[in-house]
Structure 1
Amino acid sequence: MNVIVTGGAGFIGRWVVKRLLDDGHHVTVIDDLSNGQKENLVEFEGNNNLKSVVIGDLKNEELLEELFAKGDFSICYHLGASINVQDSIDDPRTTFFNDTVGTFYVMEQCKKRNIKVVFMSTCMVYDRCYDETGITEKHPTKPASPYAGAKVAAENMVLSYFYAYGLPTVVVRPFNTYGPFQKTGGEGGVVAIFINKKLNDEILQIYGDGTQTRDLLYVEDCARFVVEAGYSDKVNGEIINAGLGRDISVNELAQLIVQDPTKIEHVDHIHPQSEIQKLLCNYGKAQDLLGWKPEISLEEGVARTEAWIKEGYLLK
């Protein structure tokens, strides 16, 4: 198939592109590089199935029209977005226009050409988990940040195109994804940041008391989930979670990574109002509809991520 991946130069986007290329599809990428990096796609440069990497803004309707008119796409994997929760609180306008308005422009192109849309949402739209069975897709949403609010708005718009126009769409809500190619600085995820600090012999700083929990999904498991949601008609019109099905407190995660309590300190949370105290995924729906379940344990995923970050240091 010919497929397009928005945000394909980003962390998860890069792994989605790899999976699609491994499956033999012809892939076009569009990314404005506000979060993504060209370097993430370097290893695919010799692959004839990577048709083009377009540097451009999803809010540029003329560019989208030109790209979609000649692409003959079967599926649009829409991952392009502003993704930083803290930034969305400080600058909600940018997040809204990128995540909600940008999604509208993508949907219009897909509607015009009957292209299936796999929309990347987030577990951050949920209210906290209250029991050990985990968060299902029927769990209450609570957009505690403009990032989550923009994603909920975009989700509803994406699903409205399924109901109003019969356009095949699916909303995917991966839980906290980590792994190689994730940024190790302020825009990165907690696993990559903690590992980077450990390797630099720096103190790991934890926001708040560290009892907040996360369900951490290894990026290759996430990419497999996202890609297969595009292949299956069973999930059209649905919202689907993916996670490890196990949560860990940030305190426990820090200890797992650094294994030295003297290297850990607690600091005041920048935006405590947007913290979700407990996140635990119930991925039963993904297992039922897609036959998907995670394959990489947290310990294995952390080890792989650390090896990748170490390799980057050696190359420098």
Structure 2
Amino acid sequence: MNILVTGGAGFIGRWVVKRLLEDGHNVWLLDNLSNGRKENIEEFLYMNNFKEFIYGDIKNRELLSNLYKNKFEICYHLGASINVQDSLDDPEITFKNDVIGTFHVLEECRKCNTKIVFMSTCMVYDKANDEKGITELHPTKPASPYAGSKISGESMVLSYWYGYKLPAVVIRPFNTYGPFQKTGGEGGVVAIFIKNHLEGKTLNIYGDGMQTRDLLYVEDCAKFVVEAGYSEKANGKIINAGSGRDISINNLAKLIVQSEKQIKHVQHIHPQSEIEKLLCNYVKAKDLLGWEPKVSLKEGIKKTEEWIKNHPDLI
């Protein structure tokens, strides 16, 4: 197939591109490198079925219109502003990228009947204490402009499914980690902790550290993303992906460092947007896609640590 990946030079995006290329598809990649990096995709640039890297923005309608002349069967729409704190500091940028940008992509998909796989986030959910995990029916709560913009994008994508019968699926991966993740900024808690540990620095934990995360290894996440695009049964659906296990940030830190002297609790930068318990129920992904995570947290941390050790120029 001819496939477009927006945000394909980002952390998850580059793994999605890798899997699509391995599956033999022709892949075009669009990224403005605001969060992604050219270094993430260098190994793909000379592969026969890697068609083009386009440095550009999803808000550029003329660029998108010309790009869609390639008659894509699927668009994996991963391009977005993803930082919670940035969205609180400047909500307009996040709104323009995650809502208006998504609308522009949707319009081109509609013209060409291109299936869209919309990357949302577990950050749209309200807090939960259910030990069976958060299902797709769990209440949402836009506790940041980032979450609000993603919920808006989800609604737009599903409206094109219901209104135009455009093939579309909304995916909500939980906290993804692994090689190529940046070691600074939002969402990279595993990578940040590992890098600080290797450098003998303090591991700073926001608040009391009792908040939990369901940590999904990036190659498991990429397989989920790709399979959602392949599956007709996924059309019109919202689908979670996670490991099905959560761990507190305190225990995650202890898993990475041997000495608790290296751990420090600091004031939370955005406590109003914190979700206290994130535990994924991925039964729907298993039923619809036959997908299950394969990599354990212990194995994933080991792989990530090895990558960080061997790629100091990319972290």
Residues 154-183 of structure 1 show CA distances to partners (whole Å, capped at 9, x for unaligned) of 000000000000000000000000000000
CA distance, structure 1, for counterparts of residue 286 and residue 128 of structure 2? 20
3-state secondary structure, aligned to 1:16? helix
Separation of aligned partners in 2, 1:199 and 1:34: 27
In 2, distance between residues paired with 1:17 and 1:129?
33
Percent identity (aligned) = 70
* Residue of structure 2 equivalent to 1:89: 88
SS of match in other structure, 1:68: helix
- CA positional deviation for 1:188: 5.2
Instruction: Say if 2:84 and 2:186, in contact at 8 Å, map to a contact too.
Output: no
User: What's the counterpart of residue 100 of structure 1?
Assistant: 99
Rounded Cα–Cα distance in structure 2 between residues aligned with 1:108 and 1:314? 38
Question: Take 2:313 and 2:229, find their aligned partners in 1: how far apart are those partners?
Answer: 37
Q: Report how far residue 313 of structure 1 moved.
A: 2.9
SS at match of 1:110: helix
**Structure 1 stretches (4+) deviating beyond 4 angstroms?**
none
Tell me the equivalent position of 1:198.
Answer: 197
Report the equivalent of 1:136: 135
SS at match of 2:312: helix
Aligned-pair CA distance for 1:306 = 0.3
Name the Cα RMSD after superposition.
1.1
CA contact (8 A) 1:182 1:188 kept: no
| One-letter amino acid matched to 1:95 | T
Contact kept, 8 Å, 2:173 with 2:242, in 1: the verdict is yes
Quote the residue 1:24 is aligned against. 24
Matched length? 315
Could you tell me how far 1:186 is from its partner in structure 2? 2.1
Per-residue deviation, residues 196-249 of structure 1 (Å, max 9, x unmatched): 100111000000000000000000000000000000000100000000000000
Using the size of structure 2 for normalisation, the TM-score is: 0.99
The Cα shift of 1:128 comes to 1.3
3-state SS of the aligned residue for 1:234? coil
Counterpart of 2:131 in structure 1: which amino acid? E
C-alpha contact (below 8 Å) 2:180/2:314 kept by paired residues: no
Deviation at 1:185? 1.4
CA distance in 2, matches of 1:222, 1:315: 21
Matched, 1:242 2:241: yes
The structural deviation recorded for 1:315 is 9.2
1:13 and 2:13 equivalent? yes
Q: Secondary structure at the match of 1:30?
A: strand
- SS of 1:313's equivalent in the other structure is coil
1: distance between equivalents of 2:314 and 2:288? 42
Paired position in structure 2 for 1:65? 65
2:156 is paired with a residue whose SS is helix
**Structure 1: stretches of 5+ with no match in the other structure:** none
Amino acid of the structure 2 residue aligned with 1:23: D
Q: Which runs of 5+ in 2 are unaligned?
A: none
| TM-score, length-scaled by structure 1 | 0.98
